[in-house]
Structure 1
Amino acid sequence: MSVITTANAQFVKNNNLSKVEFYVQKNELDSAKKYIDIASKESQFINDAKTWFYKSIIYKDLYKLKEKELLISQLRDEVTTSLQQLLLVDTNKTYQSQAESLIKYISSTYYNDAARALTVPDLEVAKINFEFYHTLTSLSSMDKKVVQENIIQFKFALATAIGTIDEETALDSTQKEAIKTIFLEILAIDNQNASAHYNLSILYYNEGVDLANNIDYDSDFDKLLEVQDKIASLFSNALPYMLKAYQLDYRKEDALEGLKSIYRGLNDEEKSAYYENELKSIKK
């Protein structure tokens, strides 16, 4: 008489997601990657939150193992894509806490590498990493004030980097416009940012001064008027930002000097004299 016995062995299901789990448990990341790449394209798993959770952690671990020192990492970018998909399909929020931890870690690497890339000639690398940081943090419950402060800090650093690409050569028009755009972006986030107001004003004012210093008085009359109108427009653009910097009590002596000079450039000698006297009074 034969006896049938039962065993406690657990068998691996014959599907690609089960294979992923099997290789993750064995810490065989390359094999796990092979099967998660297949599973994430299969109709039975494409809307399964577990698929994108596993893909996020597998690619994160591979990134740490293979590409952590690279400024641009395809493995890390795939983590971002997987996290976006995870948050989309995880309607029950099964993996919410794990996703938050992954976002916090991966976004920090993007931010750090964005800052690190500011020292290399190609600033596009810094911008790309920063955009990934911005994308990820917008998906998370991270402190929005901290995120905004990080964004502003990066944008100031980017403006500085653009302004010092070639210290022996004056900024060209493209660089000037790029820096202006950055300061305007900062003010869109924080309209009370005194440094952005001040520096934006200086950009407009200096551009007007450069034009004034290089007027070709041999030009025809209409051309000369056109240049003078452009100079006046630049000084007018500079004025509200310098006034705001002064109101915010930022670099008070420099702001007063700026207002004195801007009004003089606009041929408003009365207001120029007023701010000159203010400047003298605080220097006593």
Structure 2
Amino acid sequence: MIPLLASLLLVTTRPAVSQVILVEKAYEYVQKKEFGKAREAIDLAAANESTALDARTWYLRGYIYKELYKANPATGGELRAAALEYLGKSAQLDTSLAYRKDGQAVTRYLVVTFYNEASGDLNRQAFDKALTGFRNYLQARSGEPPDNAYATALYYAGYTSLLMGNQSGARQYYEQALRLNYRNSSLYSDLTSIYEAAGQDSLAAGTIRAGRQQFPGDTVLRITEINLLLSQKNYRRVEAIVEEYLALYPANVEVMLVAGTVYERISQGDSLSRESYFNKRKEIYRRVLSTYPDNFSANYNLGITLYNRAVDLIKAQQYDLDIVLLYEILEKVSGLFREAKPYVEKAYRLSPGNLNAMRALEGIYYNLNEKEKSRQIRATINEMK
């Protein structure tokens, strides 16, 4: 017969033993990949005080919930959150660091899923979900030393914010990425534009200068620098940069189009050189069209350059002008409209809904006395309002 004291001891220890058995049972189910049954067992073990303070219980629970999340990530957000919570609790209880390495590996896997899902959402243009995912990734890693992966997530959180029209949010993320020396030319380009929009020209200039030093051959950064100088009306400096870049990359369409814009801006501020820059604009757009005849911007810009030149000549007429001279000017004006016509028509065919092209075409038809075509374009414009 068992002594009374021993009997009492046996009775009082059975619950603790049974809970330990539940942990072992959960582990057996894990080995068999029966994670639903493993969850039932580990949830019971975690609810009992005899195993609730055991780091192994919470590590195993986190691992099981991770596997359940893996089975259905599209709807497993709560499982992932629970897994991270349980793994965090295991780390707190694990004074001997017995589960540290494995726990960190499982945690890293789960944290990376935030980033991967956010990247997929960004590619699908689901910007709200993407930004939430990047934020979750950054939050989950907030206790770790930042590395390049962290800086990359900061950049994409900023990029997503910018796509959503949130420049202040984009700025915060971009500046953090920049402080971590994240190397991406678009970071410098976007941040320069944000500073410029905020009227912080010195910050914009310093950022684009740093970007150009980091990525001296980057076309986007060069064009961002050109646009910044254009906004500051530093036309001569811009022209020198454009000419230098055209010499290096004579077939770069984007640079040629920017050159056309630069020549226009210079001609607007320098009446003495207007004719010279008018000719330079025509030449540069024709260069684009010689290689890319279906480029909308080159067709439209060449057409509108000729159109505006004709309008300027009309506006400059004097009422007491000699009739012979007046006739010559009107002939020149008509010639410019005729020259502009095929380019604007091509632009309209390439982009039928472009209002600027339609308005220019309406004016060309009207001035060439093609009244029916002008009325048709006007009717189309009115229908779009």
Q: Secondary structure at the match of 1:15?
A: helix
Q: 1:23 to 1:266 in 2, by over 3 A?
A: closer
Matched, 1:236 2:210: no
Match of 2:74 among 64, 69, 74: 69
Contact 1:56–1:82 (8 Å) recurs in 2: yes
SS of the equivalent of 2:74 reads coil
**Length-normalised TM-score, structure 2:** 0.50
Kindly tell me the number of residue pairs found equivalent between the two proteins: 231
Deviations 1:188-242 (A, max 9, x none): 222665432222102333x36xxxxxxxxxxxxxxxxxxxxxxxx3433422111
Q: Counting helix residues as a fraction of each chain, which structure ranks higher?
A: 2
- For residues 135 and 248 of structure 1, do their structure 2 counterparts lie closer, same or farther at Cα, with a shift above 3 Å needed? same
The structure-2 alpha-carbon separation of the partners of 1:138 and 1:63, relative to structure 1 and needing over 3 Å to count, comes to same
Q: What is the aligned counterpart of 1:105 among 109, 112, 115?
A: 109
Aligned-residue offset at 1:247: 2.3
- Aligned Cα root-mean-square deviation (Å): 3.4
SS in 2 for 1:94: coil
- Residue in 2 that maps onto 1:150: 149
Say yes or no: does 1:198 pair with 2:189.
yes
Counterpart position of 1:49: 55
TM-score normalised by the chain length of structure 1 = 0.65
Q: Go from structure 1 to structure 2 and tell me whether the alpha carbon gap of 1:18 and 1:134 turns closer, same or farther (over 3 Å shift).
A: farther
Q: Which has the higher contact order (CA 8 A, sep 6+)?
A: 1
| Consecutive unaligned residues in structure 1, runs of 5 or more | 1-10, 166-170, 209-232
Cα offset, 1:17, TM superposition:
3.7
Match in the other structure for 1:214: none
Deviation at 1:94, TM superposition (A): 1.0
SS in structure 2 at match of 1:185: helix
Provide the identity percentage: 18
In structure 2, the residue matched to 1:224 is none
Q: Which deviates further from its counterpart, 233-242 or 114-123?
A: 114-123
1:249-264, aligned counterparts within 5 Å? 249-251=215-217, 254-259=220-225, 261-263=227-229
- In structure 2, list runs of 5 or more residues that go unmatched: 1-13, 248-385
Question: Moved runs in structure 1, 4+ residues, more than 6 A?
Answer: none
Q: What do the CA deviations read for 1:122-161 (whole angstroms, capped 9, x no partner)?
A: 5443344334434555667xxx7xx733334444444444
Over 3 Å counting, the alpha-carbon distance change for 1:265 and 1:60 in structure 2 is: closer
Q: Distance in 2 between matches of 1:185 and 1:201?
A: 15
1:181 aligned partner, one-letter code: Q
Shift of 1:52: 0.9
